[in-house]
Amino acid sequence: MRMAETSAWSRIEIIQGDITRLAVDAIVNAANERLAGGGGVDGAIHRAAGQAELQAACRKLGGCPTGDAKLTPGFALPARFIIHTVGPVWAGGHTGESDLLASCYRRSLEVARDAGCRTVAFPAISTGVYGYPFEAATEVALRTLLAALPAMPELEHVILVFFGAPDFEAAQRVAERLRRAQGS
């Protein structure tokens, strides 16, 4: 890993919590291609933002392809914006899942930067209903952030939010392993 990637660690934080409660510039939603709302973190975000208003804003976007990201206001959330990204459905790992998941993180960062955000929080995209193996997904998330952030100085603070303690602890272990592997 290059020097710039090593220093990007200082802008990444791993926390346990409910992403809908965070007062950041933008939270990322693990949505579906129709942006129709759903269960999991998507359902929680729609409920906390206000179903009717958020659904109306999503309808205007005309869906979102897997790996891409689109912006709406945060409405009743503490966050100013919601960035809706669509993770891949896990199908064994040989259908481009890791590239698509990396693209979710990269595109969400670009959308956040273009909207003037400094702080952005991600859930563990694709690791629930979409079945992406947790540790592999966390490694893709971290590697993508470490590669992208050096070229995005506007994004001061990126938070990876894990809902339960087991996920939070597993994510910390993945991060520790990566840091050791890069010798920092």
The pattern of x and - marking residues 151 through 170 that bind ligand AR6 according to CB under 6 A reads: ----------x-x---x---
Site size for ligand AR6 (CB under 6 A): 24
Contact 26/49 with Cβ under 8 angstroms? no
Q: Does 19 bind ligand AR6 (CB under 6 A)?
A: yes
CA distances from 126 to 49, 65, 80, 182 (A): 21, 14, 23, 26
130 touches ligand AR6 (CB under 6 A) = yes
Helix spans in 50-133 (H): 51-61, 97-114
How remote is the C-alpha of 128 from its chain's centroid? 13
Least distance in angstroms from the C-beta of 20 to ligand AR6:
5
Q: What are phi and psi of 77, to 5 degrees?
A: -70, 160
Q: Does 13 bind ligand AR6 (CB under 6 A)?
A: no
Is 42 a known active-site residue?
yes
**Which residue, 165 or 181, is less far from ligand AR6 as judged by CB?**
165
- Residue span 45-84 as binding mask against ligand AR6, x where in contact by CB under 6 A, dash where not: ----------------------------------------
Specify the amino acid at residue 163: F
Residue of 102, 107, 163, 181 lying closest to 138 (CA atoms): 102
Q: Is residue 20 near ligand AR6 by the rule CB under 6 A? A: yes
The SS3 call for residue 20 is helix
Positions touching ligand AR6 (CB under 6 A) are 18-20, 30-32, 38-42, 44, 87, 123-130, 161, 163, 167
**Active-site amino acid positions:** 42
